[in-house]
């Protein structure tokens, strides 16, 4: 009997059906189906000149500079490499006489009307057109006629200038604005030889991402007002770093000249920002250069401050801490510093028995949100369903908005938004459910009533993006909503979107609340006279805490206040001792973004005045308090941090050599939060208050950056048009907004994106302070609106 052995004895792994092999200039190159020739060439450092091509945007073949020669059935043919996909066995040549002639011809045509103003152009020295005119041009021009002229430059926004004479119509800026940012506010106008880039009449280029068009412009057609005529590229020194304006953790290049920060540029970190930055993160370096910075320690003398030495200031703080009652010292803040800063202040708190500490200011979520299965930005954008239980991502975490928008546009994810008002992502949402403040958890039955949603949540990949959508409601409402989602989708993961740059790192490395002593509890204890020493670690409760009455009482009730900050903030002005802290760009270290990714932060300039890094201040205080401290360098702290914090391991070494950093698994300690009482019955007041942030506000880092200082808007209260009729007020007129706590006057605006019965007010804008109406011990805030 014949036996047939069906066992597969071939140990060769299965071949990837998407893999192709092409030849570029005689060199075999591995590529994948769908790749363009120019991308395959880039992967092996075979440079093909280009102007319009950008790897993060669609290819359009506008400039024709990337022509190459490809062997075809009828011999070699010229093709545009940014529009031609690879094919198995393809033979490509980039250096034949025909290719060189085509490239020279395109350069000559582009230069026909391009002004030769390189000596006064900001792009000079880093200009692709300039470089490729030398490397791939003919070397001389046959064009002797008068060049085309336009009015120049035109300010198309507060941050960007347009020089149409320099534009080569590459379509990069317009594609970015439309495809990436979703703000198609800049476009081609006219036709043929008169084609030019322009904004729409009476509509500025008011995009949160306009600075990216300046960075990707291959010529000097778009320039940034903060950098115009400031320096040449060869004058700049630079280091790669991480933006800490918010918690996304975008990778940047920090550039300086003569010990002054001059420019931030985006770096393409694949798991995070893809090279993009928001305008706030790109241009707020001016704050670091501000003349209003604190430069020396200050000690309160009467109603004013007197300059003091570091030794006197630190000794005065140590003396107060030594003589404070047990459990009467508190630390607020730390989320604006580095991981090393947080670790050392946490170590100081442990050594001195300080249990009252919180890196947040009662405007985030409890640390227990990190106990859930954690998602990353990549996993949230990879596929499945994303449920938004968060603030307006476009306003608070703009580059995360770009990533989520891209995932929706390319149909990788389905977005479900549960919000009390329309956000930047509403128009991209698969389902958008409007809820009253405080009722997000109750929206789950409405969601599950849709069979397709119920099936998706039960069996598909689900990521919950969780944050604080409304500062006038308790964080417990968001946590209840997260729990409601996880009850239906137990395998779901959570991406906490807390806004401050290093809030996750600070909570994970020693500044999370202990024994329920969160920021609100600390301020309440201070208001009752139970805090002998309140240390504000880069924190400004008077400007940031939603319950401003609580913040005022807390600051006033503390017997001794220490402010460690870069500016004399509203809260620092009430301190007894003020210490100048080193700002971003003035210290080395690491930071942890919202997904737990640890990346490097780089010092590029000398700290302002006698400013010191926060960790240095903590080390000196530990010594003065009699606690052993063997930390003399940043590396000492990093080694101790890796040894002491489970999950960090050799993170410091990995971060030093990896641009994309390392995702660590560290869960901050969590504790029960204080119970909240229920607000007044809804029938007592007509509107439920919705208080949330916008990207540009009156925060100290914004108002001390001249280019950003005027971008905050006037405070308004927004209600539904039918509610406006019911109130009996006209659009733009002043109304009285009140409850049992206070009364303020604001202009009223009608918006159909606001649900009926909701009053939405942006946080920290110009005008009346809506925080006067908020009380932390009420889980929701209702108000009355009356015409005047």
Q: Over the chain (788 residues), what is each successive 10-residue block's mean pLDDT? A: 44 74 95 95 95 96 95 92 96 96 94 92 95 91 88 94 96 97 94 91 93 97 95 95 96 96 97 97 96 97 94 97 96 95 96 95 92 95 95 97 97 94 94 89 84 82 95 93 91 94 94 93 97 98 96 98 97 98 96 94 96 97 92 91 79 70 81 46 74 94 94 95 94 95 96 93 94 92 93
3-class state of residue 278 by DSSP: coil
Tokens 């004399």 correspond to what residue? 568
Calpha distance 161→224 (Å, rounded): 6
pLDDT of residue 120: 93
> Each residue of 450-459: b (16+ CB within 10 Å) or e?
eeebeebbee
User: Looking at domain 682-787, which of 2.40.40.20, 3.20.20.120, 3.40.50.300, 3.30.505.50 is its CATH number?
Assistant: 2.40.40.20
Calpha distance 502→164 (Å, rounded): 41
Tokens of 6: 């069906």
What's CA 740's distance to the chain center, in Å? 37
**For residue 641, what are the CA distances in angstroms to 106, 347, 638, 650, 664?**
56, 10, 5, 10, 13
3-class state of residue 36 by DSSP: strand
pLDDT of residue 416: 94
Average pLDDT, the chain: 92
Q: Does domain 300-364+502-663 have CATH number 3.40.50.740?
A: yes
3-state secondary structure 543-585: HHCCCHHHHHHHHHHCCCEEEEECCCCCCHHHCCEEEEECCCC
3-state secondary structure 124-182: CCCCHHHHHHHHHCCCCCCCCCCCCCCCCCEECCCCEEECCCCCCCCCHHHHHHHHHCC
Alpha helix stretches (DSSP H) within 645-743: 651-657, 700-703, 721-727
3-state secondary structure 342-386: HHHHHHHHHHHCCCEEECCCCCCCCHHHHHCCECCHHHHHHCEEE
H or E segment and range at residue 761: strand 758-762
3-class state of residue 708 by DSSP: coil
pLDDT of residue 459: 78
- Domain limits, the chain: 19-95, 300-364+502-663, 367-496, 682-787
pLDDT of residue 44: 94
Tokens of 383: 């596929």
Calpha distance 36→87 (Å, rounded): 9
Pairing of strands 597-601, 589-592: antiparallel
The DSSP secondary-structure symbol of 392 reads -
pLDDT of residue 516: 87
Calpha distance 632→258 (Å, rounded): 28
- Burial group, residue 680, by CB count within 10 angstroms (0-12, 13-18, 19+): middle
Calpha distance 739→633 (Å, rounded): 53
pLDDT of residue 599: 94
**For residue 72, what are the CA distances in angstroms to 29, 75, 102, 571?**
18, 5, 18, 72
**For residue 228, what are the CA distances in angstroms to 263, 264, 505, 773?**
10, 13, 36, 43
Calpha distance 387→432 (Å, rounded): 10
pLDDT of residue 677: 41
Confidence (pTM): 0.94
> Each residue of 134-158: b (16+ CB within 10 Å) or e?
eebbeeeeeeeeeeeeeeebeebbb
3-class state of residue 105 by DSSP: helix
Task: Work out the number of other CB atoms within 10 angstroms of the CB of residue 56.
Answer: 16
Q: Which fold would CATH assign to domain 367-496?
A: Dimethylsulfoxide Reductase; domain 2 (3.40.228)
- Burial group, residue 346, by CB count within 10 angstroms (0-12, 13-18, 19+): buried
Query: Using CA of residue 369, residue 659, residue 83, residue 65, what is the dihedral sign?
Result: positive
CATH architecture of 19-95: Roll (3.10)
pLDDT of residue 187: 94
């Amino acid at each position: 009997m014949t036996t047939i052995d069906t066992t597969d004895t071939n140990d060769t792994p299965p071949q990837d059906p998407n893999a192709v092999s092409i030849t570029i200039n005689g060199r075999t190159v591995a590529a994948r189906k769908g790749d363009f020739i120019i991308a395959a060439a880039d992967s092996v450092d075979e440079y093909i000149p280009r102007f319009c091509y950008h790897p993060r945007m669609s290819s359009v073949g506008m400039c024709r500079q990337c022509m190459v020669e490809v062997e075809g059935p009828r011999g070699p043919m010229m093709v545009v490499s940014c529009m031609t996909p690879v094919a198995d066995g393809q033979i490509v040549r980039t250096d034949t006489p025909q290719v060189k002639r085509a490239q020279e011809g395109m350069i000559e045509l582009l230069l026909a009307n391009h002004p030769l103003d390189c000596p006064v152009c900001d792009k000079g020295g880093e200009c692709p057109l300039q470089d490729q005119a030398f490397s791939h041009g003919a070397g001389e021009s046959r064009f002797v006629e008068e060049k085309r002229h336009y009015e120049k430059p035109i300010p198309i926004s507060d941050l960007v200038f347009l020089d149409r004479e320099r534009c080569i119509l590459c379509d990069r800026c317009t594609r970015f604005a439309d495809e990436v940012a979703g703000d198609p506010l800049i476009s081609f106008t006219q036709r043929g030889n008169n084609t030019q880039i322009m904004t729409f009449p009476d509509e500025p280029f008011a995009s949160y991402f306009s600075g990216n068009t300046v960075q990707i412009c291959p010529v000097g057609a778009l320039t940034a007002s903060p950098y115009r005529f400031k320096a040449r590229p060869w004058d700049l020194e630079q280091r790669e770093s991480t933006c800490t304006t918010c918690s996304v953790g975008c990778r940047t290049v920090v550039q300086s000249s003569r010990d002054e920060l001059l420019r931030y540029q985006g770096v393409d970190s694949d798991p995070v920002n893809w090279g993009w930055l928001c305008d706030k993160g790109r241009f707020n370096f001016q704050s670091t250069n501000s003349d209003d910075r604190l430069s020396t320690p200050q000690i309160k003398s009467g109603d004013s401050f007197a300059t003091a030495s570091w030794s006197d200031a630190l000794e005065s703080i140590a003396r107060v801490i030594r003589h404070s009652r047990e459990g009467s010292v508190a630390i607020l803040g730390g989320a604006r510093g580095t991981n090393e800063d947080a670790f050392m202040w946490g170590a100081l708190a442990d050594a001195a028995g300080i249990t009252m500490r919180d890196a947040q200011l009662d405007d985030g979520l409890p640390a227990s949100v990190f106990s859930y299965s954690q998602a990353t930005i990549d996993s949230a954008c990879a596929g499945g369903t994303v449920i938004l239980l968060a603030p307006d991502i476009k306003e608070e975490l703009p580059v995360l908005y770009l990533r989520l928008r891209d995932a929706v546009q390319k149909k990788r994810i389905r977005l479900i938004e549960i919000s009390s008002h329309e956000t930047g992502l509403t128009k991209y949402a698969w389902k958008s459910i409007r809820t009253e403040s405080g009722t997000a958890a109750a929206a789950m039955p409405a969601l599950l009533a849709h069979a397709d949603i119920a099936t998706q949540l039960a069996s598909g990949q689900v990521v919950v993006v969780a944050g604080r959508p409304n500062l006038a409601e308790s964080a417990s409402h968001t946590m209840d909503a997260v729990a409601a989602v996880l009850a239906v989708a137990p395998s779901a993961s959570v991406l906490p979107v807390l806004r401050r740059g290093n809030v996750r790192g600070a909570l994970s490395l020693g500044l999370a609340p202990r024994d329920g002593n969160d920021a609100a509890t600390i301020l309440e204890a201070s208001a009752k006279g139970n805090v002998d020493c309140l240390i504000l670690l880069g924190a400004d409760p008077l400007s940031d805490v939603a319950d401003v009455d609580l913040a005022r009482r807390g600051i006033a009730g503390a017997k001794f206040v220490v402010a460690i900050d870069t500016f004399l903030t509203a809260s620092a002005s009430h301190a007894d001792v003020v210490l100048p802290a080193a700002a971003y760009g003035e210290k080395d270290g690491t930071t942890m973004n919202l997904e737990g990714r640890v990346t490097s932060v780089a010092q590029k300039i000398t700290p302002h005045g006698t400013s010191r890094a926060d960790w240095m201040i903590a080390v000196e205080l530990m010594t003065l308090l009699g606690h052993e401290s063997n930390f003399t360098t940043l590396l000492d702290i990093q080694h101790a941090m890796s040894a002491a914090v489970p999950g960090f391991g050799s993170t410091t070494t990995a971060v030093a050599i990896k641009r994309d950093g390392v995702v660590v698994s560290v869960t901050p300690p969590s504790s029960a939060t204080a119970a909240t009482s229920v607000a007044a019955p809804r029938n007592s007041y007509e509107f439920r208050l919705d208080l949330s942030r916008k990207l540009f506000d009156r925060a100290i880092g914004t108002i001390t950056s001249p280019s950003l200082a005027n971008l905050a808007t006037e405070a308004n209260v927004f209600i539904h048009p039918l509610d406006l009729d019911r109130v009996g007020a006209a659009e733009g007129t002043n109304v009285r907004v009140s409850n049992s706590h206070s009364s303020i006057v604001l202009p009223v605006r009608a918006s159909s994106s606001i649900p009926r019965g909701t009053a939405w007010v942006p946080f920290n804008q110009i005008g009346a302070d809506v925080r006067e109406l908020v009380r932390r011990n009420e889980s929701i805030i209702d108000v009355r609106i009356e015409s005047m």
